[in-house]
Each structure stands twice: as C-alpha cells, then as structure tokens.
C-alpha cells in the first residue's frame, strides 16, 4: 500500500485550510491533521522517523472526491475527541496512529476497507522501526472500527467511542453526516440503502450503551439516541 500515488497533495500550510469535502474552513490551530501532529505521534511511538511521503499519501486518501463524510474533517474531529479522552487510553500514541489510518482505504463497494487500512498501518509501523507488538495492536484497533461487536480492551473502547462520536453530535452536524453518508452510497438504490442503514443504526441503539467510556456516555449517549431515533423515523416515513 505504501506505493499509492496520491491524487492530490495538500501541504496544509495556508493561513486557513479548506479541507476537501468539508463545509467550513479550519484554522491551523484547529487542524489536528497537520504534518506537525503527524510527526509528533511517530515520535511518541518511538519511530526512527516520520515518513512525510506517507503523510501526504494519507491526506490524499482522505481527500478523494468520492468521500463526503470520511474526509479530513472526520479525521480532524476524531483527533480532537482524542485530546479530551487521551488520559483514558493505555497506549494513547497507538490509538492516535490508528485514528490516522482507520479510514485510509475507503471504497463503498468493498467490504475489506478496515482490513486493508489495518494492514497498511501495520506495515507502516514496522517500516518506521517500531516494535511488532505495537504494530499488531494498531492493526487490531483499526479492525475494531468495523463496529461488528462491542469493543474489548480500553484502547479499543476509546478509539471506537471516538469513531462513533458523530452519532452524539449536535442535531445539525448529525444531519449533515446523514446526508454525507448517503452521498457516499449514491450508487445504492434507495430501498436497499434504507434497509441497510436502518440495520446499522438499530445495531447501535439496541445496545445497552452505545458508548463504552464514561466521558462519552455522560456527554454524548443521550444525544446519540435522540439523533438515531430521528434518523430511524425518517427512514421509515420518508
């Protein structure tokens, strides 16, 4: 995967950055996806160096034109959430790197996006001179974002809560997310999309808790359930 040729290269160096497929400009102070943040996480991991070309490849991936939600905006929102709950993680640097890679590969017509993203991350960690134990943990964290089971382990709980943070966003942001996801699956017929989307959302709302960590439960659980209930009602009625 390291040989992916980026479709676009963004240096993220202007006074304000308009991220591709985002609706608002983000200032450098808001941009957790800067090269400086990338270099920092690799230092924390104990890597011999931070691969700048790899950084630009990831930025190019998150800037692909078919993405509407799974963009730099989503990655920035995830890394911002991490700042608030970083202390909960056992290996916060690994959680952070897993977030960088968790949607690196995103093709709505495929079912192996998480696996391919996880493999790319593991290979990159090993190439950076980091231990195989850390590489394997990053791989498993990314695989947890398949959301096919309640996460096991503190780091997986933190990462999955972060990835699901959008469910507990304010109503306007959640509604934007709903539109963006539908646009990513614009090739799917409406009836099939509604059935699949309903199944995904019911999977979360039928759990005892959507979120695994106390901060996310206290801050986002109620809003997430309200958002999902509103979405399910639309799916049934519209």
Alpha helices by DSSP H, listed for the chain, are 35-45, 52-62, 72-85, 92-101, 113-127, 132-143, 154-163, 171-184, 190-205, 214-237
Confirm whether pTM is higher than 0.85: yes
Q: Chain centroid to CA 195: how far?
A: 23
- Nearest Cα to Cα of residue 99 among 137, 61, 146, 141: 141
pLDDT in tens, 26-45: 555 458 999 999 999 999 99
How far apart (Å, rounded) are the C-alpha atoms in residues 88 and 217? Answer: 14
- Nearest Cα to Cα of residue 75 among 142, 168, 162: 162
- Has residue 11 got a pLDDT over 80? no
pLDDT in tens, 64-103: 999 999 999 999 999 999 999 999 999 999 999 999 999 9
């Amino acid at each position: 995967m390291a040989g992916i040729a980026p479709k676009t290269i963004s240096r993220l160096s202007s006074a304000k950055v308009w991220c591709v497929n985002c609706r608002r400009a983000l200032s450098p102070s808001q941009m957790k996806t800067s090269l400086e943040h990338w270099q920092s996480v690799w230092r924390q991991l104990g890597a011999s160096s931070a691969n700048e070309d790899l950084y630009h490849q990831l930025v190019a991936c998150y800037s692909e034109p078919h993405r509407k939600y799974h963009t730099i905006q989503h990655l920035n929102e995830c890394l911002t959430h991490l700042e608030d709950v970083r202390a909960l993680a056992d290996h916060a640097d690994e959680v952070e790197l897993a977030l960088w890679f968790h949607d690196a590969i995103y093709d709505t017509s495929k079912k192996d996006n998480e696996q391919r993203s996880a493999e790319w991350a593991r290979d990159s960690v090993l190439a950076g001179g980091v231990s195989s134990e850390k590489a394997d943990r990053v791989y498993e964290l990314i695989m947890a974002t398949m959301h096919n089971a309640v996460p096991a382990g503190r780091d997986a709980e933190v990462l999955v809560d972060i990835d699901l943070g959008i469910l507990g966003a304010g109503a306007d942001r959640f509604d934007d997310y709903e539109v963006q996801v539908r646009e990513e699956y614009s090739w799917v017929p409406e009836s099939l999309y509604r059935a699949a989307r309903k199944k995904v959302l019911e999977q979360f709302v039928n759990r005892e808790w959507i979120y695994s960590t106390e901060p996310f439960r206290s801050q986002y659980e109620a809003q997430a359930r309200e958002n999902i209930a509103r979405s399910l009602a639309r799916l049934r009625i519209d």
